[in-house]
Amino acid sequence: MNLQKLFLCVPNLLKLPNRTTVILKRRVPIKPFRKHIDSEFIKNKLDPLHFEYEVVDSGKDKQYPDVEIILNDIIEDVGKKGQIVKINSENAYEYIMFSKAFYATPENIAKVKKLADSEVDKYSSLTAYKTMKLLKNRVLSVYMNMYEPWTIEPWHIRVNYRLDGIQILNDNCIELPNSPISGPNMAWEGKDFAIFITINNCERFPVRCRLRHYTKIYSDRIILPPDHFCIPSEPILPEQKELLDSIPLPEWHEEEKFS
Amino acid sequence: MVLKFESLFLSVRRMSSVDVTAIESNFNRKLVEPRQKTTILDCGFYKNLPASYKKFYLEWKYTVPKPVHYIPKEGKYYKNPDNGNIEIVQNVPIPLSECPQESEGIWGGEAVIDGFVRLLKGKHRVHDLGPAPRFWFPQLYRSVIYSEILDKYMFCEVTKRAINLINNHYGLDNYLLETKACDLRNILAIKLKRKLLLSLLHKSLYPNDEVKQEEIYNKYKKYLDGYTPEEIEWFGLTLDEAILKLRGIMIYESEQPKIPLKIKFRRDFLKELSEENENQSTIVAEPWYKKKLLSFK
C-alpha cells in the first residue's frame, strides 16, 4: 500500500485538541501498609474513599521534549542534508516515517559524518530553495508609463518587485532579454516576457513578467480583474515562446475571493 | 579446663551467631518477601500449562507497571506535615480499568480510569454533596507505525505518550522489545512483540535480500538473550489461546504410538556407547568394555 495514501486518512493534527496524559492524586492518602503491593491487594484491600481523585495535571498545556534527528534530505525551515537538528517530537516522527530523516543514534551519526564530508550540497544556503520557490510561483506585473517613452532596464524590475513586497539589493542579479523592449505600445498590454534571476551567483532560474500600462489620470487607467495574473496570454518576443511555456501559471482559488 | 572453657565459649559464640542470622532472616522475610499466593494458574486445568507460559502471564498480569497516571514519592521515609510523624513511603498505584478498544491500538501504558470526584459547593459555607462518578479517558489519534524487522507500515490508534516513547527508544522495534508486557498493556503491542521475537528466532526476516537480513539480524540479536526458544513460542498468548495450544499438543502426543521405556533406555545406552567408542578409538587403544566391567566390581 502507498504510504502517501495511508497518511491521507489521518486527520489534521492541528485541528485536534492537544492533550497528553492525565495525572491524578488521591484526595485522602492511604496509610502505609507493611506489606508487598500486588494487583490483588489493590483490588481487595482499598476502601471506596481511596477512589476519590483530584486532578494534578490535566495535560492540556504540556508538551514532550524535542527530539534530535539527522536530516536525510533538505527540508524547508529545518535544515539541509546531514545536519543534526532538534525539533518537535511529532514533526520528527513524520519526517522519519517518510524517510526524510533518521534518529540521531551514535551509530547513525558516525555513518552520516562520512556522507557529509564526501557529498556537496545542492543549494548555496538554507533559504535559497525557499526564495527560489517563492519567485518562481508568482507572475511579476511590470507597470510602465502609458504616454511617455521608455525602454525596460533592470531598475524598473527592481522597483516593481518592491511594489510586490520583495526587495532586491543588487541589480546585477537581474538578467533582461537580449532584444530591448520599448514603448508605450498598447498592443503589448497584458503580454508576457521572461527574465533570469540568480541567487548568490549560484541558482539561476527564469521568471515570468507581464507588461502593464499605468497613468496618474484616474479615468484612463485600465481596470484589471482580480485573477489577472492567472489568465494565459501570448509572448511579446517570439524567441521566448518555448521558455514561457515551461513556466507554469499560478492557480486561482475562487473560495478565497470573498473570505 | 582452659581448653574446655575455650571450646564452650566458641560453641556459645557459634550458636549465638547462628541464631541471630536466623532471626534476622525470618524478620526480613516477614517484612519484604511476599507470601506465595494462589493465582489463576495454580488451580484447575491451568495447572498443566508449562512454566514458560506462566512466566509470561505473571509478567503481564501480576506485576506492578511503571507509574503513568500518578507521580511516585521518592525516598524511604518522609515527615508527615500534619502530625510531624515519620512514616514509610509506599506508592500504591492507581487502578486502571480495561475496555475493548484497548486491543486496537498502542497507548503507551495509558488506560481508562474510573473513580469519583468530591463535589463541594458554596462560597461561605461549604456543602458536601458527596462523591460523583467520573471517567478519565486517554486522547487518541490515528497514525502510522513502522517496524524495521517486519518491513511493514501499519495503521493504528496511538496516544502522544506512545509516540514520545517510540522516539526515545529510537524506533518501534526497540520500544517493543525493551519494555515489559505489563507496561505495554495493549494486546496489539504484545502480539507485535511476539511476531518480532519469532521472526528473529526463525530468521525469517527479509527472505529475498540476504545482505539486509544479516545487517538487521545483528542489530536486534541482543534481545534474544532474555528468552529461551520455548519461552518465545509461548510468549504473547492469551489464556484461552494457551489452553487451545496445550490441548493440541496433548492430542498430538496421545495419538502417537507409545514406545516402552525398556526399548528407549536400551537405545539411549547404545547411542552413548557408540559415541564413547568413537572418542576413545582415536586416543586410547583399549577395548571399550573394560571400563564398564570395572564399574561392576
Q: For CA atoms B54, B58, B60, B66, give the dihedral sign.
A: negative
Measured CA to CA, the distance from residue A109 to residue B121 in angstroms comes to 59
Q: How confident is the prediction for chain A on average, in pLDDT?
A: 84
CB A235 within 8 A of CB A214: no
Other CB atoms within 10 A of residue A144 CB: 20
Return the residue of A nearest to B110 by Cα.
Answer: A21
Asked if B62 reaches chain A (Cβ–Cβ under 8 Å), the answer is yes
Cell of B270: 547404545
Selected residues 143-202 of chain B with any CB under 8 Å from a CB in chain A: 143-144, 146, 153, 155, 159-161, 163-164, 166-167, 170-171
Rounded to 5 degrees, φ, ψ at A194 are: -115, 145
Asked if B93 reaches chain A (Cβ–Cβ under 8 Å), the answer is yes
pLDDT tens for each residue of B92-113? 889 899 999 999 999 999 999 9
Which residues in chain A touch residue B222, judged by CB atoms under 8 angstroms apart? Answer: none
Per-position b or e across A3-40, b if 16+ CB within 10 A of its CB: eeebbeeeeeeeeeeeebbbbbebbeeeeeeeeeebbe
Cell of A137: 510561483
pLDDT score recorded for residue B238? 94
Q: Residue ranges of the domains in chain B?
A: 40-253, 261-295
Domains within chain A, CATH numbers bracketed: 3-57 (no CATH), 67-118 (3.40.5.10), 128-247 (3.10.430.100)
Q: How confident is the prediction for chain B on average, in pLDDT?
A: 85
pLDDT tens for each residue of A34-89? 666 666 666 677 888 889 999 999 988 788 899 999 988 878 778 877 888 999 88
Measured CA to CA, the distance from residue B282 to residue A199 in angstroms comes to 82
Asked whether the ipTM of the predicted complex exceeds the cut of 0.90, the reply is no
Residue B258 has pLDDT above 70, yes or no: yes
pLDDT score recorded for residue A117? 58
Residue B201 has pLDDT above 80, yes or no: yes
Per-position b or e across A155-166, b if 16+ CB within 10 A of its CB: ebbbebbeeeee
Asked if A205 reaches chain B (Cβ–Cβ under 8 Å), the answer is no
